[in-house]
Structure 1
Amino acid sequence: MLNNFEDLQKMGKENMDVAMASFGTMSKGFQAIAAEVADFQKKSFEDSTAAMEKVVSSKSIEKAFEVQSDYFKSAYEGLVGEMTKLGEMYTELSKDAYKPYEGIMSKMGK
């Protein structure tokens, strides 16, 4: 009986260790994603401000439309690239957060 209780305690500790490792990985991953989003927002704001300054200082309406068109194109491409990067970061986060559980799952399969 005592041996079973010790085994149960050991299993509980192992499961807690795995959960904490997974939580730590998720926390770091979300921090990295938040930093990436903040950097993108800052860059996006700076780019839009620069584009607006160019539009306002344009000598002709054609030049203003050209500047605006170039800005919209680069902003769209930047957004698509950022969304792709964030998708990859979330995928990697999911894989990394699952890794500590792989050992438990392999033990259960035996």
Structure 2
Amino acid sequence: MIKTVDDLMAFNRANVEAVTTANQVLAQGFKSLSEESLTFSSRTMEETVAVTKKMSTCKTPTDITSLQSKLVKDNWEALVAQTKKMTEMSTAVVKDALDPLNARYKAVVDGMMRVAS
């Protein structure tokens, strides 16, 4: 229960700390997501360039079509897998960012329940 200015300051400090921690988790999570996205994009580009170079050495249109079809299939499968990975990473970041806020909310509600008792 808030009875003094010091109590109020402690209450507000705890709120600010929870928000700050959540923001730090979000910032680190966004950094990790950005790095993962960049790594995936770079890897995909390198693989595409390698296949394109192979296409330039093909002797028949059928060979080119075969390589192109494989590239499209491989890129699609990689994209689906990467989307799943990014979704899982995003979900974990949000959960981790909400943990300090949920803990603070619980502490406030518990305090209110003690006062009400």
Give the TM-score normalised by the residue count of structure 1: 0.93
| Match runs of 1:1-110 below 5 Å | 3-110=3-110
Computed over aligned residues only, the root mean square deviation of the Cα atoms, in angstroms, reads 1.4
- Work out the percentage of aligned pairs sharing the same amino acid: 23
Instruction: Give the Cα–Cα distance (whole angstroms) in 2 for the partners of residues 41 and 95 of structure 1.
Output: 26
In structure 1, runs of 5+ residues without a counterpart are none
Distance of 1:14 and 1:105 partners within structure 2: 10
Shift of the alpha carbon at 1:73? 0.3
After TM superposition, which residue ranges in structure 1, 4 or more long, deviate above 6 angstroms? none
What amino acid is the match of 1:7? D
Q: Work out the number of aligned pairs and report it.
A: 109
The answer for unaligned runs of 5 or more in structure 2 is: 111-117
Superposition deviation, residue 14 in structure 1? 0.6
Whole-Å Cα distance in 2 between the matches of residues 108 and 15 of structure 1? 10
Letter in 1 for 2:66: E
Cα distance in structure 2, aligned partners of 1:33 and 1:108: 32
Please report the TM-score for the alignment, with normalisation by the length of structure 2.
0.88
C-alpha deviations, 1:36-74, integer Å up to 9, x for none?
010011011101101111111111111111111101000
Deviation for aligned residue 1:109: 3.1
Mean alpha-carbon deviation: is it higher for 98-107 or for 64-73?
98-107
